[in-house]
Each structure stands twice: as structure tokens, then as C-alpha cells.
Structure 1
Amino acid sequence: MTRLRNVALTLGCTAAALTLSMTTAHAAPGDTVAICANSLTPSGWADVQWWNDYSCGSGTFNPNMKRMMQLTGYPVGTVVNVCASSLPPAGWQEVSAFYSSGCRYSAVPSFNNNSWQIKRVY
């Protein structure tokens, strides 16, 4: 039974990874995708919002879902606001830091800077 459960879990994770990669592969600049927080933010994307959703598990008050935005393809000089939960992609530079309630990725309330304004520099 344990072996069957492990196979099912492996197949489920593989399907989720393939779905995410197919979704993110054809995204245009500015497109957004919502995923569970335990998935890594792919290269060229940045987190822009966090919240709690039962579809990604329950039992904690930690935000467990995030929205990511595709940044690849924006022209040089573009400025966007992103959460500081992922590093800016290559070619982007932090301009300023600030607090945003939509970027709270921890259950512990804090008004420390958790967001960045970033600019495409190359």
C-alpha cells in the first residue's frame, strides 16, 4: 500500500510540474499564474501576491498560495512592483522597497518592507 501511495504521489507531482511548465512556457509579459507556495518561482517570473487557500492544504495560517507575473519580454525601462519573496530576475534591478499587505508571505504580522519596485535595466 505504501508503494502504491508513493507511486501515486510521484505521478501527481510530475503532472503538477508539467502543467506549471506548460503554463509558464507560453506566457506573455505581464501574464500571471496562481500556484501553491511550495512550488518554486521559475526564472523570469516574480511573486506579486500571497494568500491562504484550502486547495493548497490547510491547518496553518501561513499564506500557502502565490500569484506570479511573467517579466521576460518587457522592454528596458519598465518598472513593476513585486513581492520580496523571490529575487528579481536577471536584467531587473531594485529601485525601492516598501510594505504591501498583498505580499505578506508569513503568518507573523509585520510592517517591514516586503515588496520591491524593480526596473528592467537590460
Structure 2
Amino acid sequence: MIRLRTASLAMMTAAACAALTAAPATAAPGDTTTMCGSSLTPAGWVDVQWWNSWSCGTTFNPNIKKIQQVSGMPVGSTVNACASTWPPAGWEPVRTYYSGACQYAAVPSHEPNTWTIKRVF
């Protein structure tokens, strides 16, 4: 019985992580989703928030992130993005600052970790 519960729990955890790591294929500009921090942020998306969740493993490090699709947004749009990913092509940082929502390291610092990025082309 214990093996069955353990196997069931492992399968549910794997399914939850798989659901969190897949970015929606039909997302509109500005849409957000969450994914485990161990997965790469897809092209055209930026990290906008980090936190810790049991659904992505057992660690004290921030291990889950909210990402936002920025591809397709109009020129002149601005987004506050974590500095854990580079701005996509056509976007430039216009401001750098510290945000508690973007602590993506095990040992957080109060150094700037967030950008306001602007679509320039």
C-alpha cells in the first residue's frame, strides 16, 4: 500500500511539473503563466516574478516563476521584468531597480534585479 501511495504521489508531482513548464502555444501578448525555475524561459517571454513552491521540488531557493509573453506587444510598450532573463530582441532596459518579487537566487541581495524594458522596434 505504501508503494502504491508513493508511486501515485510521484506521478502526480511529475504531472504538475509538466503542466507548469509548458508555455501555452496560443498565448496572446501580455499573457502570463507559471513554470518551474529549472526550465528555460521561452523566446518572446520574460520572467516577472519568482517564489518557492513544493510543486517544483523541495528547496529553499526560489524555484517557480511567473513569465509574461512580450512578443507581439506594440512599440512603446513597457514591462517590469526580472533580470534573470535578457530582454528579447526589440526590447531595451530603460530603468534598473530592486524588487522583492524578483529574488531568484538562494542568497538574495538588495542590488538591482529588475528592469523596466521598453519595446523599441
What TM-score comes out, normalization by structure 2 length?
0.82
**Equivalent-residue separation in structure 1 for 2:107 and 2:50 (angstroms):** 14
Using the aligned pairs only, state the percent identity: 58
Matches within 5 A, 1:82-121: 82-121=81-120
CA distance in 2, matches of 1:91, 1:64: 28
2:36 aligned residue: 36
State the alpha-carbon separation in 2 of the partners of residues 109 and 83 from structure 1. 13
Q: Distance in 2 between matches of 1:87 and 1:43?
A: 10
Q: What's the CA shift for 1:109?
A: 2.4
RMSD (Å), alpha carbons: 2.0
Structure 2 CA distance, aligned partners of 1:16 and 1:57?
A: 12
Instruction: Find the aligned partners of 2:108 and 2:116 in 1 and give their Cα distance.
Output: 21
Corresponding pairs, count: 107
Amino acid at match of 1:20: A
* Aligned mates of 2:42, 2:26 — CA distance in 1: 13
User: TM-score w.r.t. structure 1 length?
Assistant: 0.81
Structure 2: which 5+ residue stretches go unaligned? 1-13
| Residue 76, structure 1, aligned to residue 75, structure 2 | yes
SS at match of 1:106: coil
Deviations 1:40-88 (A, max 9, x none): 0000000000000001000x31000000000011100011100000000
Give 1:61's aligned amino acid: F
2: CA distance between counterparts of 1:46 and 1:105?
13
1:16 aligns with 18
Shift of 1:39: 0.5
Runs of 4+ in 1 over 6 A off after TM superposition: none
Is residue 51 of structure 2 the alignment partner of residue 51 of structure 1?
yes
Task: Write out per-residue CA displacement over residues 93-113 of structure 1, whole angstroms, 9 at most, x where no aligned residue.
Answer: 010100000000012121000
Secondary structure at the aligned position of 2:38 is classed as coil
- Classify the secondary structure of the residue corresponding to 1:82: strand
